[in-house]
Amino acid sequence: MSLEIECKFCDVDFAPLREKLSSNTDAMDCGVHFEQNTLFETNPPSLSKRHMLLRLRVIQERGSQQKAFVTLKMPCRKRATKDLKVLDEREVTVSNPQEFRSILSGLGFKAFAAYEKVRESWVYHGVEISFDILPFGNFVELEGAQTDIEEVIHELGLEEYQRSTLSYHALHKKYAKQSKETACDRSFTFEADERKRWCEELGIPCVAAVNLNKT
């Protein structure tokens, strides 16, 4: 079992944080990648009823082959707090994400949502720091030990931003409600032109949108 302890900060200006990290010799720049995530559920739904999440994540970064990970997130005995989310996380790499989707389909799982983001990753004081650009906003996600996370929050001055333990899907739902979108799709992906622009900017092959109906 691996515990995932994390929190997010909303509507963040990355520039001053990046400047602090890049000038600190203890901070490690882990690069930038484009990321596509697909969520799966049984029919009828059973995972969500047990507060579980099954995700296939495919990332593409400059100068490297495509990487893919399958993650299962579940509630754990360690209680979350109002400031931190705590989950039991199991994750493995897969060499062929499309074939794995076929396996999930054969087992009765159905892809029901997809989301994309551009992620810039850093590691500082043992905390994974992610600058995440999503179609509906910029976020910082911190993952690590509780005491280390609080130390990094203070050092980077993140207290001025809104803190959240919500998932990106919950944050998107909240955003859609606040922006009075009439239809809140469970997926949130970049428009084709925006996806193409990001791929060109990151120097990676242009990727196609996730097809939820593909097995």
What is the per-residue pLDDT across 79-120, written as a single tens digit (0 to 9) for each?
A: 667 789 999 999 999 999 999 999 999 999 999 999 999 999
What is the per-residue pLDDT across 118-127, written as a single tens digit (0 to 9) for each?
A: 999 999 999 9
pLDDT bucket at 57, cuts 50 / 70 / 90? very high
Question: Quick check: helix, strand or coil at residue 36?
Answer: strand
Structure confidence at residue 14 (pLDDT) = 98
Q: Which of 212, 215, 150, 208 is nearest to 187 (CA)?
A: 212
pLDDT bucket at 1, cuts 50 / 70 / 90? low
**For residue 204, pLDDT beyond 70:** yes
| CATH code of the domain made up of 2-202 | 2.40.320.10
Q: How many CB atoms lie within 10 A of CB 184?
A: 13
Mean pLDDT of the chain: 93
Structural domain spans, the chain: 2-202
What is the per-residue pLDDT across 127-165, written as a single tens digit (0 to 9) for each?
A: 999 999 999 999 999 999 999 999 999 999 999 999 999
Count Cα neighbours of 119 within 13 Å in the Cβ-side half-sphere: 21
pTM for the predicted model, two decimal places: 0.94
**For residue 182, pLDDT beyond 60:** no
Q: How many CB atoms lie within 10 A of CB 180?
A: 6
